[in-house]
Amino acid sequence: MRNPLRSEAEAFRFLIAVILGALVIIGAAYVSTWLGVAAAVLAVGGIAWWLKQEPVPGAADPPRRITSETPAGVHRVLVVANETVGGEALLATIERVARPGTELLVVAPAMPSQVRHWASDVDGARADAEHRLQASLTRLEATGLEVRGEIGDDDPLVAIEDALRTFGADEIVISTHPEGRSHWLEQDLIGRAQARFALPITHVVVDFAAEHSPVPRG
Amino acid sequence: MATHAEHLEHHGPPAPHYSSRITPGVLGMFLFIASEIMLFGSFFTAYFFVRVVNGTPWPTPPFHLPVYVAFINTCILVTSSFTVHWALQSIKRGNVWGLRAGLLLTFLMGLTFLITQAIEYSRIGFNTTDGAFATIFFCLTGLHGAHVFVGLSILLFMTIRAFRGHFSAEHHDGVEIGGIYWHFVDVMWIVVYMTVYIL
């Protein structure tokens, strides 16, 4: 989408578009008032359509895939989970992918509501994430893994990218709620992560309802 | 230490990431646009109620609006957008004198616009107390005039800095941002001119 205030050149083009739109409206209004109204609707719609166009061909190309490296002999796993950070399925997956000596970084993105995000009122969400993360780290440390955790950006892709800048990983584990209850899956987080990061990605579904159910589902 | 292949050539701390989904600069610009939309929107709402809902004749007899003088003024203001664009294109190519000439011309045209508007006010034959039409007219054109005044102040500093050699082909953010504001002022004038004088 064009942002008419992104640069002087964009603002100048927007000005030209507005001048053309104004000329069309004025010309139509001289013929008939209702023709002027129709021209105004068309002109505003046309400018809105123009603003939605990509300003630079190729600018919307997917960004370069991000890769990551670890020193020889070191195996590192990046785990991204929020509300599911303490799920049994996730812990089982971590135990499966981990080898002796594996270094583990668990990132729990803070998840404030959209309103709180815009108001930068994220302290509560970060505190909640911190609480869940600590509980999960305690359980993982008990397995003998070298593990640490941190709170990440509320955009999980940004959280992964942030983590990879300081923690080179060999693979990524992303944990979500089941389909239908997961905002991340609704936003196609797994697909976008696979497109963005050139690393093996394991998707774990944590279904708390099933885990806490007294009768196993079958 | 683990490295990040995409940043192998990078030295020093990693590039900062903002915790918000939008950068502070973009957020600030959006807030600015939102405040301007609300400000002009409130005046245009008053205009709409006075002219369309209440059916007040526009302009209310026996007053007349100096449409042709305003048209000349519009041409001057639109031309000044072209000169500021030329100024920026010049400095991007390292042409310092093109920048100086462009900014000076832009400033002079903006000043001409403002002086012409002031003269128009003094000769227009009605005042803010002469009914809703007159009030809205002065509010809308005056609000825009205030924006032109701010733009002229920015242009003045840009021009002084240009003559002092503060801008180069690599460093010209001051011209870029001032140019964006000046185009915004132009866009608003076209809307004001069209609704108040023409339609």
Q: Is the pLDDT of residue A116 over 60?
A: yes
User: B19 and A122 in contact by Cβ < 8 A?
Assistant: yes
Chain A residue numbers with beta carbons less than 8 Å from the beta carbon of B199 are 25-26, 29, 36
pLDDT value at position B157? 94
Give the pLDDT mean for B94-108.
Answer: 94
Six-digit token string for A64: 């370069």
What is the biggest distance separating any 2 CA atoms in chain B, rounded to whole angstroms?
A: 82
Average pLDDT, chain B: 85
Q: Taking the model in full, what pTM does it have? A: 0.61
Is the predicted pLDDT of residue B12 greater than 60, yes or no?
no
Q: Note the pLDDT of residue B11.
A: 54
Q: Which residues of A touch B194 (CB under 8 A)?
A: 22, 25-26
Question: What's the pLDDT tens digit per position in A45-102?
Answer: 888 887 777 665 555 445 567 777 777 778 889 999 888 877 888 888 888 888 877 8
CB A122 within 8 A of CB B19: yes
- Which of A92-106, A123-137, B8-22, B116-130 has the weakest average pLDDT? B8-22
ipTM of the complex: 0.82
Q: Give me the DSSP letters along A169-191.
A: -SEEEEEEPPTTT-HHHHTTHHH
Kindly determine whether residue B7 and residue A165, on different chains, have CB atoms separated by under 8 Å. Answer: yes
- Predicted confidence band at A217 (pLDDT cuts at 50, 70, 90)? very low
What is the side-by-side order of every strand in the sheet holding A201-205? A146-152, A103-109, A76-80, A171-176, A201-205
Q: Which residue among A11, A122, A165 places its CB closest to the CB of B180?
A: A11
